[in-house]
Chains A and B, each alone.
Chain A
C-alpha cells in the first residue's frame, strides 16, 4: 500500500494532542513511553501478532533504535515517517536497523522505511515543544511507563527563541 497522507495527518493530530498535554509531540505519544510501544501493546491486546504483516506505521518522527528493532521483531510491513532523528534514529540516521542484513533471523525480517512525509510540520512541533518552558509537575511518574523520567530541576528556557527556517534534508 502506498503512502497515504490521511494517516500521517492522524499521526500529526496525535502529536498535536501530545503537545497540548505537555508531552513530547511524537506520533501518538500520550505518556513519556515511546509512541510505538504504546501502539503495539494496544494492537496486540485485540489482535494476533501476525496482523503486523499487513500493517504500515505512520509516525511523525523517525523511530529510535529501540523502536526500530521492536518494529522489525513484530514484523511491520512498512514505516512512513516525518522528520529524521539525528541522535537516536534507527531507520537510517544512526543505524539502519530496519535493513541491516546482520540482524536477519526468521522472526526479524528487514522492512522498508520512507521518511520526509510532512517533515516540516513534525520539526516545527518538536521545536515548539523544546522552546516551551518546562513547567510540568516536578516529578512526572507514569504508571507502567517505560522511561520514567523525572526532571528534578526544571530548566528555565525563557531565552529560547523559536527558529522557523528549516534546512533541507540531505
Chain B
C-alpha cells in the first residue's frame, strides 16, 4: 500500500510551474439569461476565435439566486485585449434583431493566470472562477512502506559515513542504487583535498565509479561468455544455466550511464554535479540537506528546466528535521580550517 505523501520522510522538489502561485488576470464577464447563451457564445466566437489565455477557465458559471432563479455568468475576454467602452459598444451593436439578448453591464473579475498542474494549485485558485482541472495521479510519485524503508536505510548509511568523514575533506557522500533490486551500484565521497582537484566532488566521483563498475561488469560478462563457449562443447545445456543477462539486452535498456538509477546524496548538489546527473540520465535524486548554491531546488531546478533534454524527480530534506534552528547552526558546507563556504 502506498504511503500518504504527508508521511514521507522527505519532500518532492517541484518545478517552478508546479509550485508557483497561479497569479490572476483581469477578465470581462457579463451575466445573461440562460436562454440567450448561444447568442452570446456566437459573439465571443466571432470576436475572439482563439481563447486568449483562458483555456483553463470554464466559459460559463451557473449562479442560483436566493429566489431560485438561475443566471449564467459568461467570460468574455481578458481586459488586456480590448477597452471596456469598446466592448460595451460591440456587444450592443451585435444585440439586434434575432440576436437581441439581455445582459448585465460588463464587469471585471480576476481569474487564475496559469492552469493548475496539481491539487494544491487547484485548491488555491478554484474560489476565483470554475477551473478546468483533471487530476492525473498516474504521474504522481508513489512510495510503499518497503520503498520508504530502503530510502531511509540508504540515506542513514550515508549520514553515518558523513559524520565519520576524514578531517580535511568535505563530509559529502553519494551512492547510486538500482531501485529495481535495491542493489548498490557505486559510491563516492568528496576528495577535493586529498586529490588536490577542485572538481572531485562526491557526485562526480560517484558517477566515475558507476562507469568503472559498468566496465567491470561488461568485462566479466565477456569472460563468462568465453568460458561458456569453451564449456558448451562438452555440455550443450550450459548456456541455459548462465543467469547473467544478455549484454546486448542490457545495453538496449541502459543507453546512458545512470538510466533508471537513483542517487542518494548527503547534500543538495552544486550546478556542475546536478548537470552531470542530468547528462548521465539519472532516474531520481534523494538528498538530505539543501545547499545555498544547490542546483536541484535552491538556485536552479535543473531537474525540471524546460529547455534541458532530460527531466527527473528530486526529493529533498530526506531524513532531515525541518527546523530553522538546524539550518541556522549549519547553513552551508564549511571547508575544514578556514571555515570558508564551498559548493557541494
Q: Does B bind A?
A: yes
A residues with CB within 8 A of B? 37, 40-41, 44, 48-49, 64-70, 73-75, 86-88, 90, 94-95, 97, 100, 102-103, 105-108, 139, 141, 143-152
B180 within 8 A of A: no
Q: Which residues of A contact B343 (CB under 8 A)?
A: 69, 73, 103, 105, 107-108
- Taken together as a complex, chains A and B put the C-alpha atoms of A160 and B295 apart, in Å, by 37
Residue of B nearest to A95 (CB): B300
Is A69's CB under 8 angstroms from B270's CB? yes
Q: Which residues of B contact A150 (CB under 8 A)?
A: 251, 255
Is A73's CB under 8 angstroms from B272's CB? yes
Is A66's CB under 8 angstroms from B198's CB? no
Can you report 5 A-B residue pairs in the complex whose CB atoms are below 8 A from each other?
A73-B343, A103-B343, A108-B342, A146-B207, A147-B280
State the 9 A-B residue pairs at the shortest beta-carbon distance, nearest first: A66-B275, A69-B272, A69-B271, A65-B275, A106-B340, A148-B257, A105-B341, A102-B299, A70-B272
Q: Which residues of A contact B305 (CB under 8 A)?
A: 94
- Taken together as a complex, chains A and B put the C-alpha atoms of A105 and B291 apart, in Å, by 12
Given A102-B293, A105-B341, A146-B207, 7 more A-B residue pairs with CB atoms under 8 Å apart are: A41-B197, A73-B343, A74-B199, A88-B308, A107-B198, A147-B256, A150-B255
Q: How far is the CB of B71 from chain A (nearest CB, A)?
A: 50
Q: Which residues of A contact B208 (CB under 8 A)?
A: 144, 146
Point out which of A65, A87, A88, A94 has the most chain B C-beta atoms below 10 A from its C-beta: A65
Interchain CB contact (< 8 A) of A44 among B196, B272, B280: B196
Q: Which residues of A contact B278 (CB under 8 A)?
A: 66
Residue of B nearest to A48 (CB): B196
Is B342's CB under 8 angstroms from A49's CB? no
Q: How many residues of B contact A (CB 8 A)?
A: 38
Is B299's CB under 8 angstroms from A103's CB? yes
- Taken together as a complex, chains A and B put the C-alpha atoms of A150 and B214 apart, in Å, by 13
Q: Which residues of B contact A107 (CB under 8 A)?
A: 198, 335, 340, 342-343
Given the contacts A44-B197, A49-B196, A103-B299, A152 and B279 also touching, CB distance less than 8 Å: no
Given the contacts A66-B279, A88-B308, A149-B256, A144 and B211 also touching, CB distance less than 8 Å: yes
B215 within 8 A of A: yes
- Taken together as a complex, chains A and B put the C-alpha atoms of A8 and B343 apart, in Å, by 31
Q: How far is the CB of B57 from chain A (nearest CB, A)?
A: 32
Residue of B nearest to A67 (CB): B272
Q: Which residues of B contact A88 (CB under 8 A)?
A: 275, 308
Q: Which residues of B contact A67 (CB under 8 A)?
A: 272
Q: Which residues of A contact B255 (CB under 8 A)?
A: 149-152
Is B340's CB under 8 angstroms from A65's CB? no
Q: Which residues of B contact A49 (CB under 8 A)?
A: 196-198
- Taken together as a complex, chains A and B put the C-alpha atoms of A70 and B197 apart, in Å, by 11
B301-343 interface bits toward A, Cβ cutoff 8 Å, 1 = contact, 0 = none: 0100101110000000000000000000000000100001111
B276 within 8 A of A: yes
B20 within 8 A of A: no
Q: Which residues of A contact B197 (CB under 8 A)?
A: 41, 44, 49
Which residues of chain B (255-302) have a CB below 8 Å from chain A? 255-257, 270-272, 275-276, 278-280, 293, 295, 299-300, 302
Is A74's CB under 8 angstroms from B272's CB? no
Q: How far is the CB of A158 from chain B (nearest CB, A)?
A: 22
Is B276's CB under 8 angstroms from A87's CB? no
Point out which of B270, B280, B302, B305 has the most chain A C-beta atoms below 10 A from its C-beta: B270
Is B293's CB under 8 angstroms from A139's CB? no
Given the contacts A103-B293, A146-B207, A148-B257, A65 and B199 also touching, CB distance less than 8 Å: no
Q: Which residues of B contact A37 (CB under 8 A)?
A: 199
